[in-house]
Chains A and B, each alone.
Chain A
Amino acid sequence: MPRIVVDVMPKPEILDPQGKAIAGALPRLGFTGFTGVRQGKRFELTVAGEVTEEVLEQARTAASTLLSNPVIEDVTRVEVLPETNEGEQ
């Protein structure tokens, strides 16, 4: 079944305490190539049937009203996911 992916990220101006903690852990494990980490959320909305423009619009509205809080987060992506291989969910 087709899926719509929604990415939500903390706003750039909002300090991301979790990302900061992860950024602190990386060099301790020898991953020294990164100067920062921001942690977001990814949602996958499964659609029964075809992804029409109406369904996509619903996903956009859900993304901005329920899946994200516009005070602290941005919706950075609402997109139909390419179909995966046979048998995979």
Chain B
Amino acid sequence: MRPEATTLDSVRVGIVTFPGSLDDRDAARAVRLAGGISVPLWHGEHDLQGVDAVVVPGGFSYGDYLRAGAISRFAPLMEQITMAASGGRDALPVLGICNGFQVLTEAHLLPGSMIKNNHLHFLCRDQRLRVENSATAWTSSYAAGDEIIIPLKNQDGQFVADERTLDELEGEGRVVFRYVGDNPNGSRRDIAGISNAAGNVVGLMPHPEHAVEAGFGPDSSAAGQVGVRGGTDGLGIFTSVLKKLVN
């Protein structure tokens, strides 16, 4: 179904836009800065246009009526994505960021859910994370244990799941990102991002697409001191999937 990509600049990454998506353009820009081609996908379409990977970006979807992601998971395009992402290790790589992460949980591509932050406030800050698993489709540019700093901005960011699910996630190495330092929202076991069993589907609450170009990123990097807005720690997420698809 998907043509084999042979060079980075032949990898096509679809960026889904729902009514209310905010960060779709930033996600598209991140894909381009990583060296790939971004392909805009509209939620109401049935055709994935042969893309090699998909980013479900942040913002809102259908106004988040009912619950974030509850209605968007039934969008025609989401049904295509769910099918294409469910085929094991070589299935379509899918990344859900923030609201996109919530959409993936509602679509049952990832376990758990996000509820309102334990302090009830909207929180926007540059957040330090630890990459716990570098074997997923979206984290191979990092080493396990690497720390990154990328923006976090949400009001419904508290990751919850039952204890059995949490144990399973930990046991199978499917906790991909963990908050370092103060837990910003009460997420169980400081979990910031997880993957499915095959590792092709990853979701996280913080925003790697906002830390991909010096001059437009956070003021800090986990790698050391950077200039004002010089943080680009999120770029590796996007280069990871491009490299995986070329190899």
- Total interface residues on A, CB under 8 Å, equals 12
What distance in Å separates the Cβ of A12 from its nearest Cβ neighbour in chain B?
12
Question: Secondary structure at chain B's binding surface: helix, strand, loop or mixed?
Answer: loop
What distance in Å separates the Cβ of A11 from its nearest Cβ neighbour in chain B?
9
Q: Which among A17, A21, A66 has the highest number of chain B CB atoms within 10 Å?
A: A17
Q: Within 8 Å CB of A72, what residues of B?
A: 113, 115, 160
Interface residues of B in 84-123 (CB under 8 A from A): 105-106, 111-113, 115-120
How far is B112's CA from A29's CA once the two chains are assembled, in angstroms?
Answer: 36
How far is B113's CA from A21's CA once the two chains are assembled, in angstroms?
Answer: 21
- Total interface residues on B, CB under 8 Å, equals 21
Contact B66 A17 (CB under 8 A): no
B161 on interface, CB distance cutoff 8 Å: yes
Binding site for A on B (CB under 8 A): 66-67, 70-71, 74, 105-106, 111-113, 115-120, 158, 160-162, 186
How far is B163's CA from A13's CA once the two chains are assembled, in angstroms?
Answer: 10
What distance in Å separates the Cβ of A37 from its nearest Cβ neighbour in chain B?
13
With A15-B186, A18-B120, A21-B120 as known contacts, state yes or no: A69 contacts B113, CB within 8 Å: yes
What distance in Å separates the Cβ of B185 from its nearest Cβ neighbour in chain A?
10
With A21-B120, A71-B105 as known contacts, state yes or no: A13 contacts B162, CB within 8 Å: yes
A23 on interface, CB distance cutoff 8 Å: no
